[in-house]
Each structure stands twice: as structure tokens, then as C-alpha cells.
Structure 1
């Protein structure tokens, strides 16, 4: 793991975040163009308005290639909670503890910023990610049928109170 680094934004991170999401969710869940476009536009828009006092973005790279990321969008932290977004790792990095490290970075950042809570949206069936969320104290707060990712899924909102 000596050649693996965790950093903030690096050139190519937007494209790689979109690619990682598109490849995984297409292969495993049949998501398509709508989903990939949503991820690319969302990450790009977020990074263009990133305020380091409330927002965070972390990448995992090996040999200069982005192979994972996570973000904290704190724009609505005081009213709705900070939003954990775009959490993903390439298949080759799974099982090395890097997902755990990314979540530690994200939740620790929220605590340091004084965000009262943090939440995320996911969907039923992503059991490995759910295990990590619950390990970090997130609890299932809401479930509903939805199409927010362009495909019918049982959406799940997980939340973690920090204050």
C-alpha cells in the first residue's frame, strides 16, 4: 500500500469519479447514461463551488491514477445536515481498508467543521457499503421507492448525528 495516496482534488478526478461510478453501477445494477451524466455533472458542479470551510473532497490514487473518492457537501449542513456523496473505490482497492479510511476522513472532517449531522442517500442491495456506514455510526433513517439514479430502486437515507 506504499504506492497508494489519499489527497484532495487532483487533475482528472472528475472524469475518474464519473467513470468509476458508471462502470460499477452499469455492471452491477444496469445503470446507464443518465446515471453517469448525473455523477459527472454533480461532481463538477460541487468542485466548482467547493468551500474548504464546509466542504471536503478526497481521492484515493495508486501510481497517480484516481481509484476512489468521497465528498462532503456542507452547503446545507446547518439545516439538513452535511451530505456525504460519491463514495466509491475501484474493484482492485476493495478489501484493503481504504473505504474505511475515506469514511474516517469524511466523518472526521464533519466533526472538525462542527456540522451537527451528516447523511447520505444510497439504495438497498449495496451491503458492503452499508456495513461501512453502520460501522461509522450511520443508521437507516428513511426508505422509499425512487428513480433518483435513473432506475427504480429502494432508496435509503442513512444519517449520523454528530452534535
Structure 2
């Protein structure tokens, strides 16, 4: 079975909210936010998050997974892939590949030079997935925003080669 992918806009706020809360519930240490914090968001907050000016938000339907991407000011024009999550029932079925491909496609459509992402040190499965898509590990490292005992490293993929 293969999930269908869909880019979201503000009218899809319930879909993004429900999947994001499921992700935070199932994998709390994977994100820089918390279930408690995001349960407190209003409809307006969710709609604002899905404004196309704030980047890409996409879901693999049937609640298979989600991903976000944006262009932070401090990344010199690079897109940052974030909040990627695949529902446990869909893991190992290509959903992660589909989500990564969508971010890379969006970055290319918008002529960005590369895609960066932060991965928790020791998350070997995620590192392997990203490596299959041409990402390489860098020396850039920081403490995880939500867990002092976890560090993250940047993986990057140059586009247009």
C-alpha cells in the first residue's frame, strides 16, 4: 500500500493539528515542542502555521506521516526540513522517502541552494534514511531544544548538482 501526499494550506488546519498532536504523543523526544504546548494552540495559531508564506506543510494521507519545511534567516537561503514523522503502522513502507522527496522538490521549485535538517545524535534509522536521499552529516551540532541530554547535528543536501 502506498500513501498519497498532499500539500496543506490554512483550510487544512484540522488535518495538520490532528497529525501533529499524534506525532507529539507517539514520539515526544523527536520534536522541539511538546504535546501540552501544542494542545493549547487555537484555530488561528494552526491556520497561521499553514500560511504558504511560512513554508511547506505536507501530509501523507491515511495519517501515514507529515513534514514541514521553511527558510530560516540564519541558513543562507537553505530550506530546513523539520517535523518529519511517520506513523508507526506506516514505517518501512516508503512514507519517509515520499515526505523527503516532497521537501526536496519544493526547495527546488523555489530555487533554494540546499536542504538542511537537524537529526538527534544516535537516531541511526533517521540518519540512514536521509543518507539514502543524498544528505551528508556536518560538524554543526547543538543541544536538543527540548532535552538537555540529547544533541542534534545538521545533515545537508546541496541542490542543483
TM-score range, shorter chain: 0.7 to 0.9
* d(CA) in 1 for partners of 2:73, 2:121: 25
* d(CA) in 1 for partners of 2:48, 2:156: 21
Residue from 47, 68, 72 that aligns with 2:69: 72
8 Å CA contact retained: 2:77, 2:113? no
Q: What do residues 2-24 of structure 1 show as CA deviations (whole Å, max 9, x unaligned)?
A: 6x321122333123213213322
* d(CA) in 1 for partners of 2:114, 2:38: 23
Structure 2: gaps of 5 or more residues: none
Segments of 4+ moved more than 4 angstroms: 37-41
Match of residue 22 from structure 1 = 25
* d(CA) in 2 for partners of 1:89, 1:153: 21
8 Å CA contact retained: 2:141, 2:153? yes
8 Å CA contact retained: 2:119, 2:126? no
Write the mapping of 1:137-156 to structure 2, written as runs, cut at 5 A: 137-144=134-141, 146-156=143-153
Structure 1: gaps of 5 or more residues: none
Q: TM-score, normalised by structure 1?
A: 0.76
Q: Say whether residues 1:50 and 2:52 are aligned partners.
A: yes
Q: TM-score, normalised by structure 2?
A: 0.77
Q: 1:78 to 1:149 in 2, by over 3 A?
A: closer
* d(CA) in 2 for partners of 1:46, 1:78: 22
